[in-house]
């Protein structure tokens, strides 16, 4: 903007204050969570120790020694990485086909895919548990978690990729056809280099969704394939509320993804706004 206008006091004082207030309101629970994770379970529930307390690493030690944190973390990484990879593996060709060779049903298919997200997950909880446990015998396996995470995220991933691919002029792909590349070459040599930013944003977002997924990962696993969501869930109730311990587990579960998100902020914003911000 080239026109310099004196800022009104509204812009100078009110807006920043509002922004900070909102940011603090949103940030406070996380701050509180991290703080609590350094308290003993006894201190955690005492209001007088809200900010001032004797910090301890006991909860974290406890977590890695007694609760097998690393196994859950490993499962989270394995399932999220493979689910993201698989989702892209299926999603990229699908979105490519819909963006560059649309049929008259393409719009309907896209809508239909999105509509699957409107089905309440609880509605299929019983059949899913029953089938995977009693018939398919895949309950509590990495395979099941990967497939479920992939299927949950596939619609949104295809939608995002479709939006990015749509931005690429059709003629460039056609020029590739004239130059003799096959379909795989079109994707590898032309589409992906051009849509790289969009694909990366999509992958990142998909990974985060996989990592954070709790509804199914908690219900379809017990020990073998249990992820960090399950670890939090498992520390929640049985012996009463151990806030310190629970906080440590939670902080350790969300920590990696927060760090990842921090480093990839730019990509994420682009991803979340569907490329509207360039």
Partner 1 sequence: MAGLTLRNVAKNYADVNVIESIDLDIKDGEFVVFVGPSGCGKSTLLRMIAGLEDITGGTIAIGDTVVNEVAPAKRGVAMVFQTYALYPHMTVYKNMAFGLKQAKTPKDEIDKRVRAAAEILEISDLLERTPRALSGGQRQRVAIGRAIVREPSVFLFDEPLSNLDAALRVQTRIEIARLHQRLGTTMIYVTHDQVEAMTLADKIVVLRGGNIEQVGSPIELYETPDNMFVAQFIGSPKMNFFKAEDLTKKGQAMLKGDVDRLGIRPEHFTTTDVKSALVVATPDLVENLGENALVHCITEGGMEFIVKTTDLTKFKQGKKIGLTADKARVLGFNSTTQKRIG
User: Using the rule CB under 8 A, which residue among 169, 263, 269, 273 binds partner 1?
Assistant: 169
Over the window 96 to 115, marking each residue x when it contacts partner 1 by CB under 8 A and - when it does not, the resulting string is: --------x-----------
Tokens standing for 10?
Answer: 């509204």
Tally of CB atoms within 10 A around 40: 18
Q: Which stretch binds partner 1 (CB under 8 A): 92-100, 113-121, 153-161, 179-187?
A: 179-187
**Segment 46-105, which members bind partner 1 (CB under 8 A)?**
104
Among 179, 215, 236, 258, binds partner 1 (CB under 8 A): 179
Rounded to whole angstroms, how far apart are CA atoms 142 and 215? 16
Q: Which of 71, 142, 166, 177 binds partner 1 (CB under 8 A)?
A: 177
Task: Give the chain's length.
Answer: 278
Buried b (16+ CB within 10 A) or exposed e, 217-228: bbbbbeeebbbb
82 vs 96, beta carbon nearer partner 1: 96
Cβ distance to partner 1 smaller for residue 189 or 233: 189
Instruction: By CB under 8 A, name the one of 172, 241, 259, 269 that touches partner 1.
Output: 172
Give the count of alpha carbons within 13 A of 115, CB side only. 6
- Dihedral angle over CA of 13, 15, 18, 23, nearest 10: -110
Residue with tokens 């899913």: 128
From 77-85, 121-129, 136-144, 189-197, give the range in contact with partner 1 by CB under 8 A: 189-197
203 lines the binding site for partner 1 (CB under 8 A): no
Quick check: 18 binds partner 1 (CB under 8 A)?
Answer: no
Q: Is 181 in the site for partner 1 (CB under 8 A)?
A: yes
Torsion of CA 56, 60, 66, 68, to 10 degrees: 180
Task: Give the binding site for partner 1 (CB under 8 A).
Answer: 104, 169, 171-172, 174-181, 185, 189-190, 193-194
């Amino acid at each position: 903007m080239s026109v310099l206008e004196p800022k009104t006091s509204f812009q100078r004082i009110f807006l920043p204050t509002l922004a900070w207030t909102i940011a603090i309101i949103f940030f406070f629970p996380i701050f509180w969570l991290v703080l609590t994770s350094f308290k003993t379970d006894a201190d955690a529930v005492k209001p007088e120790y809200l900010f001032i307390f004797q910090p301890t690493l006991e909860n974290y030690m406890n977590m890695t020694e007694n609760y097998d944190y690393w196994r859950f973390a490993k499962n989270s990484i394995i399932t999220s990485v493979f689910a993201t990879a698989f989702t892209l593996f299926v999603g990229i060709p699908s979105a490519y086909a819909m963006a560059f060779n649309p049929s008259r049903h393409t719009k309907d298919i896209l809508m239909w895919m999105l509509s699957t997200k409107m089905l309440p997950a609880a509605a299929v909880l019983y059949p899913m548990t029953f089938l995977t446990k009693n018939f398919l015998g895949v309950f509590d396996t990495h395979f099941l978690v990967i497939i479920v995470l992939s299927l949950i995220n596939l619609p949104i991933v295809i939608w995002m990729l479709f939006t990015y691919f749509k931005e690429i002029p059709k003629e460039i792909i056609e020029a590739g056809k004239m130059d003799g590349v096959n379909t795989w070459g079109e994707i590898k040599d032309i589409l992906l280099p051009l849509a790289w930013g969009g694909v990366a944003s999509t992958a990142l977002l998909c990974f985060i969704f996989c990592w954070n997924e709790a509804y199914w990962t908690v219900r379809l696993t017990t020990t073998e394939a249990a992820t960090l969501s399950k670890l939090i869930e498992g520390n929640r109730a049985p012996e009463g509320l151990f806030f310190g311990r629970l906080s440590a587990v939670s902080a350790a579960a969300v920590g990696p993804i927060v760090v990842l998100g921090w480093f990839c902020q730019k990509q994420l914003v682009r991803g979340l706004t569907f490329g509207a911000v360039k």
